[in-house]
Structure 1
Amino acid sequence: MMTPAMERTRERMIRTALELFSEHGYEGTSIQMIATAMELSKAAVSYHFRTKEDLLAAVAEPAFTDLQQFLDETEAEPRKAVRRRLALRGYVSLLVKHRGLLALLEQDPIAAASPVISEKMTLFAERIRHLFESDTPDNAEWVYLAVTLGGLRNAAAWFPHLSDEELNQHLLATAERIVGRTASRTRP
């Protein structure tokens, strides 16, 4: 059982790992670097996280937990128009909340390709897309949604100088303009 002090240390390790992964890349960051940055021994970090991949999974877990909750709640809404509005606001909110992780995954293909990340991202991407698609989606709509939702995700990582509130406002306004259009209206 973890004591409150151990839990705080573990959370600090996760924050430090995200900072160092972002600065040096996933592959360029070692457990020893994280320990040194925290003024701890490598064994202390290894006590909480046996491998660097375990640490990467812990860095991503809050985002995946939030995403799972968002999807479960949004998918439970029976009215399609309401579900779509909830999905749009919720998706943007999650992008802003977890933009540090998104920036890491955008900049570091090795971290993004890690099985602890890529498998969940693939599953969640499919569920997110289904929140926005029409009743009879075709290939053109799927491409439209992939570009739109991926563009929003990438934009959340590209503007670290914006406050969360400002980024949320801009992303939501953009998302409402883009997603409010149907894929069929964008076809030539």
Structure 2
Amino acid sequence: MARGNTRQRIQDVALELFAEQGYEKTSLREIAERLDVTKAALYYHFKTKEDILVGIFEDLTRPMDELIDWAREQPRTLEIKRETLRRYQVALLAAAPLFRFMQENQATVRELSVGLTFKERVLTLTEFLQEPDFTIEQKVRCVSAVFTLHAGTFFVERVEGDPEEKHEAVLEVALDLIDRAHEGR
């Protein structure tokens, strides 16, 4: 098996175990056992649980970094901001297992290096959506648009309905918030 595939399998299994029993209660030995490899084979790719988590985080947040880089190069028009929200929803949905882990292990995430960098990414994104002359209400709408997408990724699953329709509805609410923030410009 290619090295990249082994790394990915380790990350997938580790994330499963972290979700099942919590980050703190999961050992490298258990990850190796679930993969049916030796601890030495696991150490070849990752030295610690934190290394595994950081690797998962980097892989799943790469689309977010790419989105931020893309947005920085675009004109600050309403349509670009709407497209940014569309692309952000796609990135969030792809990274849903990681975000579920982060939600369920907030204390652990705060202690790890990944917590702050995620917060910085979200703040960068919300700042891109705002304009310097916006009122507080307009700025709150922009920030709320981003957090609507976050809430939609995790909490709307309890709302009855087709998953695809729910994702579309969440995006529509986020787009409506950004549109209303830009009214009168």
Q: TM-score surpassing 0.5?
A: yes
2:8 matched residue in structure 1: 11
Q: Distance in 2 between matches of 1:37 and 1:173?
A: 41
Aligned to 2:2, the other structure's residue is in SS state: helix
Cα distance 1:112–1:167, how it changes in 2: closer, same or farther (>3 A)? farther
RMSD over aligned CA atoms reads 2.7
What TM-score results when the alignment is normalised by the length of structure 1? 0.83
Q: Distance in 2 between matches of 1:111 and 1:118?
A: 9
- How far the C-alpha of 1:39 sits from its partner, in A, is 1.0
Residue 178 of structure 1 aligns with an amino acid whose one-letter code is: L
2:20 is the counterpart of 1:23? yes
- How far the C-alpha of 1:116 sits from its partner, in A, is 2.4
2:147 matched residue in structure 1: 150
Decide which of 108, 118, 132 is 2:115's aligned counterpart. Answer: 118
What TM-score results when the alignment is normalised by the length of structure 2? 0.84
Q: Cα deviation per residue 1:93-144 (whole Å; 9 max; x = unaligned)? A: 1111111111111111134214321121122122111121123245554444
Residue 89 of structure 2 aligns with an amino acid whose one-letter code is: V
- How far the C-alpha of 1:48 sits from its partner, in A, is 0.8
- How far the C-alpha of 1:55 sits from its partner, in A, is 0.4
Q: Distance in 2 between matches of 1:77 and 1:16?
A: 38
1:81 matched residue in structure 2: 78
Residue 179 of structure 1 aligns with an amino acid whose one-letter code is: I
Unaligned runs of 5+ in 2: none
Q: Distance in 2 between matches of 1:10 and 1:163?
A: 34
